[in-house]
Chain A
Amino acid sequence: AQSVTQPDIHITVSEGASLELRCNYSYGATPYLFWYVQSPGQGLQLLLKYFSGDTLVQGIKGFEAEFKRSQSSFNLRKPSVHWSDAAEYFCAVGAAGSQGNLIFGKGTKLSVKP
């Protein structure tokens, strides 16, 4: 079955510390992978995406993610977290030509300590 697992429901990091949010997927075909962020009361905003090519992708707001096919993972990283990064982060997988139909993980809520 196709699925996305985000093992961490809630993570708290100190401002300025590094961040890694985990994402594992199970998908039969070549996956298109996404990370979205959602602030309270808002819709989702795309941080970055991986379709093919370089397995390390750069996104907005200083985020990056690395696709590891052998581990079925697509972890999100940021070297130095800012208080404004506090939000909920969703990993998603989809198929080529079917980008409107994404399978989302349950999300990881990020809290940032001053």
Chain B
Amino acid sequence: KAGVTQTPRYLIKTRGQQVTLSCSPISGHRSVSWYQQTPGQGLQFLFEYFSETQRNKGNFPGRFSGRQFSNSRSEMNVSTLELGDSALYLCASSSRGPTNTGELFFGEGSRLTVL
């Protein structure tokens, strides 16, 4: 079955703009997590959504937000972009319930460059 799909793969924005990233989880997965990956800070957890509800949130400013739709697709938004927001944003999906294997399945990421 298809893996986790993230769009767009690459994008360039300027400071002050906003950006929306999209993630389609593996079919049947209802949990979606977002991570920011930078060379300096590594992989940092942003938030997790399950059944359209935010379940966990990392230590990021309010400029970072997300949502999940009834079909489990998720979007994250970053407003008022700063240079430091340049990063690879990774989405991961997982199943919950009887089929839960404890594994996160990652997409290939959306690489955001802020100029």
Contact = CB atoms under 8 A, between A and B. Distances in A.
Interface of A: 32, 34, 36, 41-46, 49, 51, 90, 92, 98-107
A28 B89 CA distance: 28
Interface of B: 4, 31-33, 35, 42-45, 48, 50, 55-56, 58, 90, 92, 94, 100, 102-109
Contact of A103 (B32, B45, B55): B45
For the complex of A and B, the 9 pairs showing the least CB-CB separation, nearest first, are A43-B106, A100-B48, A100-B33, A104-B43, A44-B106, A101-B56, A106-B42, A43-B108, A46-B103
Contacts, number: 60
B16 to A, nearest CB: 28
Which DSSP category, helix, strand, loop or mixed, fits chain B's interface? strand
A99 B104 contact: yes
Contact of B104 (A42, A51, A100): A100
Contacts of B32: 100
A102 B104 contact: yes
A44 B42 contact: no
Nearest to B106: A43
Contacts of A99: 31, 94, 100, 102-104
B60 to A, nearest CB: 13
25 contacts: A32-B102, A36-B106, A43-B92, A43-B106, A43-B107, A44-B90, A44-B106, A49-B103, A90-B43, A98-B56, A99-B94, A99-B102, A99-B104, A100-B32, A100-B48, A100-B50, A100-B92, A101-B33, A101-B48, A101-B58, A102-B104, A103-B45, A104-B42, A104-B44, A106-B42
